[in-house]
Amino acid sequence: MELPANHFKRGIHAGDQQLGLWCSLASHITVEILAGSGYDWLLIDTEHSPNELPMVFSQLQACMENKVQPIVRPPVTDAIWAKRYLDAGVQSFLFPMVETAEQAAAAVAYTRYPPEGVRGFAASSRASRFGRVKDYYSRAQEEICVLVQIESKLGMENLEAICAVPGIDGVFIGPGDLSADIGYLGDQGNEAVVTLIEGLVGRIVKAGNRAGILTGDEGLARRYIAAGNIFTAVGSDAGLLARGSEALARRFRASSIA
C-alpha cells in the first residue's frame, strides 16, 4: 500500500488556490457531506469545538472517499496532542497561537521522528494503514503539512522569523483573536483590521511562505485572495446551517404573510 498523497500540501507549494471550509459541529456525518462538496480542504476543529479524538478519527474516515484534505487544529500546540492525531492518520495540522520562531520550530519537531524531531513511534497505527505502508517511517514527513496560526501582536512582530522556520508549510492568520488583540473585538470586518491582514498576507508572501485565512464574508475572502492568500476557508458548517436555515424560514414566513 502506498503512503497517501497530501494534495493540499502539493497545491499550496505549487501556488494553486486551495479553497476550504471550517468544520466545528464535531460530526462525522456533516464532514462526510462536506467532503463531497468540492472543497480542497476541511478544517476539523478541536480548539473551539466539542471534538474529541475518537470523533476526529471518525471524521477522518468520513473524508476517505474524496480527494479533500482534512486539516486538524489541535486544542493547543503540544507534542502529545500532535502524536495522538498523527497516529490517527492526520497529515495536515493547523497549530494555534504560535508567536515565535521557537514555537514554530517546536511544532515542526512534533511531527517528525528522531533525529529531526520528537514524534513517538507507534507500530501498526492508522497512520501507516495498520502496517501496510511499508516505508511509512522513512517517508511520513514528505506528506505531513505543518501550518501555524498567527493571532497576536507578538506573532505579528515575529512573522518573518516564523515564516523562515524550515518545515513550516503555511502561515494562517487568525482574524478573530488577532482583531481582539489589537482592540477590535468582534469587528473583523473593520477596515483597519482588513488592511492590516492584507499587509500580513503580503509579508508572508514576501518572506517566501504561504498565507491562509478564514472568513465567511465573500467580499473579504476575495480581497485576501487578491492580496496573495493561497489557502482560504470561505465559510463554516455551523454558519451555513444557521444562516441557511434562518433564510429558509424567513422566505416561507414572508410568503405566508403575503
Residues facing residue 43 across a β-bridge:
22, 71
Catalytically annotated residue among 7, 13, 28, 48? 48
The grid coordinates listed for 6 are 497530501
Q: Which residues contact 11 (CB under 8 A, 6 or more apart)?
A: 18, 40
What SS3 class is residue 19?
Answer: strand
Residues facing residue 73 across a β-bridge:
45
CA-atom Rg of the chain in angstroms: 19
**Distance between CA atoms of 142 and 155, rounded to whole angstroms?**
27
Q: Is residue 13 annotated as part of the catalytic site, yes or no?
A: no
Kind and range of the H or E run holding 246? helix 237-257
Cis check for the bond before 115: say yes or no (omega within 30 of 0): yes
Contact yes or no for 94/86 (Cβ under 8 A): no
Q: Of the candidates 175, 170, 132, 130, which has an alpha carbon nearest to the alpha carbon of residue 152? A: 175
Q: In this structure, which amino acid lies at residue 147?
A: L
Query: What Å distances lie between residue 188 and 1, 30, 132, 197, 220, CA to CA?
Result: 45, 27, 46, 10, 10
Catalytic residue numbers, as ranges: 48
